[in-house]
Amino acid sequence: MMNLRQRLLSCAFIVGAVASGCIVSGCVTESDEASIPFACPSEAEWPVVSQVLERKCGTMDCHGDRARPFRLFGRNGMRESDNNVVGSTDPTTTAELRENRASACGLEPEKMDAVVVDGEDLETLTLVRKPRLIEAHKGGLVWNEDSPGFVCLT
């Protein structure tokens, strides 16, 4: 059983924790919660690009894993649905296409924006460097510069 001093210390701790939480939350402004728009490749052209990425990189031992910073959903690997189905004959859903695009664009949003808007060099993107082994890639060489998959990606 707690004595009076222990109860008072417990109450003081709780009050202090609540007060700290209120003070800290007061520091978060509306602009801290607003999304910052970055340019991304065209949504209209994305299904073809996604299909190429899904086929080459979307298996469970590659980027078809939720834990990866760049992850892909689709018929060859991880599915977006809640039932944890892996692969199927069903085509990639619109929601999965959206997730794949968000993953590709969200990997390095500032750099992607610079490539899309300002015409920066494509090789600034990890998404371009790794599959060509310009940067170390556990999956090895995926595409040469002139391969159809790489041309589609770029």
The span from the CA of 63 to the CA of 60, in Å, is 7
What confidence score (pLDDT) does residue 114 get?
Answer: 94
| 20 lies in some domain | no
Count helices and strands in the chain by DSSP H and E runs: 7, 0
* Total count of domains within the chain: 1
| 50 lies in some domain | yes
| 13 lies in some domain | no
CB atoms within 10 A of CB 105: 18
What confidence score (pLDDT) does residue 10 get?
Answer: 59
Q: What is the DSSP string of 25-76?
A: HHT--HHHHSPPP---S-TTTHHHHHHHHHHHH-STTTT-STTSSS---STT
- Parts of the chain with a pLDDT under 50: 22, 31
The span from the CA of 137 to the CA of 121, in Å, is 20
Does the pTM surpass 0.85? The reply is: no
What confidence score (pLDDT) does residue 31 get?
Answer: 45
| 138 lies in some domain | yes
| 91 lies in some domain | yes
The candidate with the shortest Cα–Cα distance to 143, out of 114, 119, 122, is 122
| 110 lies in some domain | yes
What confidence score (pLDDT) does residue 66 get?
Answer: 84
- Which residues span the domain enclosing 80? 46-148
Q: Residue 78's beta-bridge partner residues?
A: 86
| 144 lies in some domain | yes
| 24 lies in some domain | no
